[in-house]
């Protein structure tokens, strides 16, 4: 593949996920950035492997963890992906180190992509305040209560933050996250909390 078809060559992307991650949201977003040339690391709460799920209830594949969140430095990465599944982001948002990891990407003005229930991490860290985002519809009230503007769209981009609603939105989500990760850091983009 030509270099212009690999816009993420030389970039390193973190995927923050744990047990309960929706399999297709993890694999599709990871594959998109890898095919665009990025090196990808699965960051999680524990070493070993994580158990992915299909539709929150059916066990899917297991994936090897590259680094525990306590050992991962956001400065080593050019972008962050937050896949969903209901259980995965619920577990992540209860972990202060994981939420500090997410917050650091905003503080460093780096692109972030979250799909389905993944925006729960954005709510927990205060990073939706003043932003327009989409998510799985059940997060609408959480996002609004956190100061965000929730919209019902296939994909929403707000100054380097890419969000989508559900697995059906993955094609559009993956295109936009590659574009935003290729663009890189934002000038003037500040953390909102």
The phi, psi pair for 188, rounded to 5°, reads 80, -5
**Cα–Cα distance for residue pair 106/112, rounded to 1 Å:** 8
114: which strand partners?
82, 163
46 included as an active-site residue: no
- Grouping H, G, I as helix, E, B as strand and the rest as coil, residue 27 is helix
Out of 46, 55, 117, 174, which one is annotated catalytic? 117
174 included as an active-site residue: no
- If we measure between CA atoms, which residue out of 144, 99, 104 comes closest to residue 122? 99
Which residue numbers are catalytic? 116-117
């Amino acid at each position: 593949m030509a270099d212009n078809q690999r816009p993420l060559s030389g970039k390193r992307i973190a995927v923050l996920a744990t047990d309960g991650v929706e399999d297709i949201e993890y694999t599709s977003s990871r594959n998109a950035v890898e095919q665009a040339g990025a090196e990808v690391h699965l960051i999680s709460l524990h070493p070993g492997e994580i158990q992915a799920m299909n539709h929150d209830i059916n066990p899917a594949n297991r994936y090897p963890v590259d680094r525990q969140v306590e050992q991962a430095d956001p400065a080593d990465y050019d972008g962050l992906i937050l896949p969903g599944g209901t259980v995965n982001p619920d577990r992540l948002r209860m972990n202060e180190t994981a939420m500090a990891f997410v917050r650091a990407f905003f503080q460093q003005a780096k692109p972030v992509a979250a799909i389905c229930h993944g925006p729960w991490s954005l709510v927990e860290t205060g990073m939706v305040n003043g932003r327009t985002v989409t998510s799985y519809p059940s997060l609408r009230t959480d996002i609004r209560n956190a100061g965000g503007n929730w919209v019902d769209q296939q994909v929403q981009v707000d100054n380097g933050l890419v969000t989508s609603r559900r697995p059906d939105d993955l094609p559009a989500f993956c295109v936009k996250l590659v574009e935003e990760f290729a663009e890189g850091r934002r000038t003037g983009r500040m953390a909102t909390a």
